[in-house]
Every structure is written in structure tokens, then in C-alpha cells.
């Protein structure tokens, strides 16, 4: 397969590619998280957000975004695999004793197992897509918004998926653990790969990267956890409360 062939590009370019795709995926995660958090504002806001995503630019936006994401994912995996392969090639005989030098080193459990956390994330993404993107959207029906538009009730889909399914919540927790681990090294590493660091900024960027990694993982995991634990608050059959302040988040253009 061509994809598995030797990369003929420079090691620096390879890292640029990993870095750019990686950072882009992180940006996607940030957007994704913000979107997710609208769930806390109530079913109408969340559903309206979903409606907007799927119908913005007559549905072109989501398609382009999906293709783009797929492409970035693929490139990220390809370049990372290539780096992994160079690693094996560059040191055919390993050390009997392996250790961590400490000090300014950023070599950690996280940095050493990027491939493992990466694979876990990939597996999770597939499960995640099955859970939501390729789930039967008919089953949850629709919801009527204030202006009379009928939108798919993805709110119900999400709440139904997590409520009563402790196994799935655990799986999501594990996945977010993997994501966190991946990004603990990944974010700062991407910045370094793009050559954007200075001696003085390296320690801070490393910390900021770790903070973002933790924030993203916690943020994402909050949703399934709270849905699972607070059944009273998250009702799959909730009806929009048109008097709620959360509706302020609803922009008219979101509803198409």
C-alpha cells in the first residue's frame, strides 16, 4: 500500500505535518467541547446547535468539515506511524535498562506511549461515531422549536445513550483518559514541532499544553458523567422551557 511506503520527506517536514494536523484536531476538540456544553443549557439550545451544524451552508459545512477531519486524522496517523517506524529503525538494539533523566526532560509515561494512546483514541472515535453519528436518529423523534421548526431531538439521543449504561460511561472515561494522556505531550510537542518555542517559553508552553489536555478531557467527560449521575436533571423527554435564560444562547440563524 502506498500509505505504508517509506516517507520520502524530511524528518522536519514530517514533524511539521504531525504538528499542524495535531493542533488542528485539538482546535476541533475545543469547538466540539463548546458545542457539547450547550447540552447543559437545555434540549432546545442543544438541538438547535445540532440543527445548525447539519444545515449550515445547506449541509456543505459539515461535509467539508468531516472530510477535512478525516484527512487530518489520516495524515496525523500516517506521519506519527512514520516517526514510530523511524524509531525502531534508528535503534535496532535497545537498552537493557531504561530510565528517565528528569530535570528539563519532557520524557514521561505520556510521551513514551503516544502510539498506544493514539490507537485507543482511534478505537474510541469509531465507537463514538457508531454511538451518535450512525445511531438511529428516527427513534428519538423530533422537537418543535419556538418558531415552529421541527428539529431532530439529539438531546434525547445523548441522554438516552448514557443513562443506564454504566459500561459506556466507563468506556468514555477510559477514552478521555487516553485523550488526556495523548495531549499531555501532544499539544506542547506540536508547538515545538512547528518551531514556535523559545528557550523562555518552553516550560510554560509545556504547562499550558498539559492544562489544555486536562481541561479538554475533563470537559468532555463531564457530560456523560453528569447525565449518568443526575437523572433528575437530564430528562430524555424534557420539553423546551421557553422562559429559560439559556435560550439567550439560541441565535435565530441557528435554526436555519
Partner 1 sequence: MKVNLKIWRQAGPDAPGKLVDYTVENVDPSQSFLEMLDSLNEQLVKKGEVPVAFESDCREGICGNCGLVINGIAHGEKGGCTTCEIRMRQYKEGDTITVEPFRAKAFPLIKDLVVNRSAFDRIMSKGGYVAVNAGSAQDANSQLIHRDLAEEAMDAAACIGCGACVAACPNASASLFVGAKISQFTWLPQGQIERSTRAKKMVTQMDSEGFGDCSNHAECEAVCPKEISIANISRMRREFTKSLFARN
Report 166-195 residues binding partner 1 (CB under 8 A).
185, 188-189, 192-195
Task: Kindly list the distances between the CA atom of residue 188 and the CA atoms of 20, 85, 206, in Å, as whole numbers in the listed order.
Answer: 12, 22, 5
Give the nearest distance from C-beta 164 to partner 1 in angstroms.
42
User: Considering the rule CB under 8 A, would residue 101 count as an interface residue with partner 1?
Assistant: yes
Binds partner 1 by CB under 8 A, chosen from 90, 133, 232, 243? 90
Interatomic CA distance for residues 82 and 76, integer angstroms: 10
Task: Select from 3, 12, 67, 251 the one that contacts partner 1 (CB under 8 A).
Answer: 12
Distance CA 27, CA 38 (A): 17
Beta carbon of residue 68, minimum distance to partner 1 (angstroms, whole number) = 22
Among 4, 11, 74, 144, binds partner 1 (CB under 8 A): 11
Binding residues among 69-88 for partner 1 as defined by CB under 8 A: 82-83, 86-87
Separation between Cα atoms, residue 244 and residue 159, nearest integer Å: 20
Rounded to a whole number of angstroms, the minimum distance from the CB of residue 201 to partner 1 is: 8
Tell me the residue ranges of DSSP E strands in the chain: 142-144, 150-152
With binding defined as CB under 8 A, does residue 96 bind partner 1? yes
Query: Using DSSP, how many helices (H) and how many strands (E) does the chain show?
Result: 8, 2
How many chain residues touch partner 1 (CB under 8 A)? 45
Check residue 197 for interaction with partner 1 (CB under 8 A).
Answer: yes
Choice between 88 and 133, CB closer to partner 1: 88
Residues 12 and 139: their CA atoms lie apart, in Å, by 49
b/e per residue 15-43 (b: at least 16 CB within 10 A): bbbbbbbbbbbbeebeeebeebbbbebbb
For residue 140, the minimal CB distance to partner 1 (Å) is 43
Contact footprint for partner 1 (CB under 8 A) = 10-16, 82-83, 86-87, 89-107, 111-112, 114, 185, 188-189, 192-199, 202
Amino acid at each position: 500500500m502506498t500509505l505504508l511506503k517509506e516517507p520520502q520527506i524530511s524528518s522536519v517536514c514530517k514533524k511539521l505535518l504531525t504538528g499542524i494536523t495535531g493542533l488542528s484536531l485539538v482546535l476541533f476538540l475545543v469547538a466540539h467541547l463548546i458545542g457539547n456544553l450547550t447540552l447543559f443549557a437545555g434540549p432546545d439550545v442543544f438541538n438547535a446547535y445540532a440543527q445548525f451544524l447539519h444545515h449550515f451552508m445547506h449541509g456543505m459545512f459539515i461535509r467539508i468539515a468531516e472530510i477535512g477531519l478525516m484527512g487530518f486524522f489520516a495524515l496525523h496517523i500516517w506521519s506519527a506511524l512514520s516517526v514510530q517506524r523511524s524509531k525502531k529503525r534508528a535503534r535496532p538494539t535497545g537498552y537493557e535498562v531504561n530510565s528517565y533523566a528528569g530535570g528539563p526532560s519532557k520524557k514521561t509515561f505520556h510521551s513514551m506511549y503516544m502510539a498506544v494512546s493514539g490507537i485507543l483514541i482511534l478505537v474510541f472515535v469509531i465507537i463514538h461515531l457508531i454511538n451518535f453519528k450512525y445511531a438511529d436518529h428516527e427513534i428519538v423523534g423530533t422537537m418543535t422549536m419556538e418558531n415552529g421548526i421541527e428539529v431532530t431531538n439529539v438531546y434525547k439521543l445523548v441522554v438516552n445513550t448514557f443513562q443506564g449504561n454504566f459500561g459506556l460511561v466507563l468506556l468514555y472515561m477510559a477514552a478521555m483518559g487516553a485523550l488526556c494522556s495523548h495531549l499531555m505531550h501532544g499539544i506542547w510537542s506540536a508547538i515545538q514541532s512547528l518551531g514556535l518555542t523559545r528557550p523562555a517559553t518552553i516550560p510554560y508552553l509545556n504547562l499550558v499544553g498539559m492544562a489544555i489536555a486536562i481541561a479538554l478531557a475533563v470537559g468532555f467527560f463531564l457530560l456523560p458523567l453528569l447525565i449518568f449521575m443526575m437523572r433528575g436533571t437530564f430528562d430524555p423527554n424534557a420539553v423546551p422551557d421557553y422562559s429559560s435564560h439559556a435560550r439567550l444562547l439560541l441565535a435565530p440563524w441557528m435554526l436555519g
